Amino acid sequence: MDKFEKIFDMSFEKAMVFVARPIVILIICKIVVTIVLKILNKIFEKSKLDKGIQGFFKQLIRISIYVIGIIMAAQSLGVNTSSLVTLLGVVSLAFSLSLQNILTNVFSGIMLLITKPFVTGDYIEVSGISGTVTGISLMRTRMRTADNKVELIPNSDVASQRISNYSGETRRRVDIEVSADYKAPTRLVISVIRDVIDKDERIAKEGAYAPTVRLFRFNENDITYTVKVWCENGVYWDVYFDLLENIREAYDDNGIEFSYPHRVVRIEK
């Protein structure tokens, strides 16, 4: 009431100045917001920053400027802003606590969009899920699995887990293990597998990407051989399954057998 009485006690000119001052401050805030956003838009046009992050930053700056403007307008009216600032702090804290999970996902999404451990179209594995990334928002990452399921993973889970990006490089290594009976000569087995590899034009053959076929492990009933070859990302699974099928056929053609567990049963009379 004292503030209103003070206004009525003023001359008309002083009263107009008293009332107009906060209005002018808010108008200036509006102008500042417009100018700052125009500058940001020009900066964002030249950057590769994600649209979601751009919108988040612009909204954050807009709200911050208006909050400062409101506090300054209140000060111009003689209002004690210390209590207002305290109230805003308490409200902000309560708001942050109530939206803790949401804010965690948002900031995780911002970090994913800035650091770019993967982009839309990459084939990744995260949180035990493998699939193609179809979208990255501020809240969650959208993936399509090999069996055409859509998985929505919270960004906080994605950011805190180990990420395997199989599209990070143009080539990917195919690792398989095949076994052969102890009776099959090692050199023959390796030669047969290499013949299968040489016939597949999708497999790299030279330099650092040259195929590897080696004896890997002695088992109780057979010998395990490891096969490591490189191919383009897009044909990974085709090469993987074709290798298994072609090696099986090559074994049959060359008399190489797979071993099976044997048990000797003795019956005493």
Cβ pair 141, 156 in contact under 8 A? no
Structure tokens at 189: 């087995």
Q: Which residues contact 143 (CB under 8 A, 6 or more apart)?
A: 124, 129, 131, 132, 133, 134, 150, 151, 152, 153
Write down the pLDDT at residue 91: 66
- Do residues 7 and 38 both lie within one domain? yes
Last residue of a domain, one of 168, 199, 224: 168
Q: Are residues 144 and 202 in the same domain?
A: no
User: Which CATH number goes with the domain that contains 99?
Assistant: 2.30.30.60
**Mean pLDDT across the chain:** 83
> Considering its fold, how many domains does the chain have in total?
3
| Span 127-178, pLDDT tens digits | 889 999 998 887 889 999 989 999 999 999 998 899 999 887 889 999 999 9
| SS3 of the chain | CHHHHHHHHCCHHHHHHHHHHHHHHHHHHHHHHHHHHHHHHHHHHHCCCCHHHHHHHHHHHHHHHHHHHHHHHHHHCCCCHHHHHHHHHHHHHHHHHHCHHHHHHHHHHHHHHHHCCCCCCCEEEECCEEEEEEEECCCEEEEECCCCCEEEEEHHHHHHCCCEECCCCCEEEEEEEEEEECCCCHHHHHHHHHHHHHHCCCCCCCHHHCCEEEEEEECCCEEEEEEEEEEEHHHHHHHHHHHHHHHHHHHHHCCCCCCCCCCCCCCCC
pLDDT (tens digit per residue) in 207-229: 889 999 999 999 988 999 999 99
In 3D space, the residue among 80, 93, 79, 167 whose CA is nearest the CA of residue 123 turns out to be 167
On whether residue 261 sits in a domain, the answer given is no
Q: Which of 113, 138, 168 is the last residue of a domain?
A: 168
Same domain (yes/no): 189, 225? yes
Torsion of CA 218, 219, 221, 222, to 10 degrees: -50
Cα 60 to Cα 50: distance, rounded to the nearest angstrom: 16
85 and 74 in a common domain? no
Q: Is the dihedral of CA 186, 187, 191, 192 positive or negative?
A: negative
32 plus 75 within the same structural domain: yes
In this predicted structure, what is the pLDDT of residue 1?
47
138: domain range?
81-168
CATH number at residue 212: 3.30.70.100
- Show which of 33, 49, 79 is a domain's final residue: 79
pLDDT for res 260: 75
Instruction: Note whether residue 37 is domain-resident.
Output: yes
Give residue for tokens 């417009």: 34
Q: Residue 36 falls within a domain, yes or no? A: yes
Q: Do 75 and 101 belong to one domain?
A: no
- Residue 120 domain-assigned (yes or no): yes
63-105 tens-digit pLDDT: 888 888 887 887 777 766 676 667 677 666 666 655 567 778 8
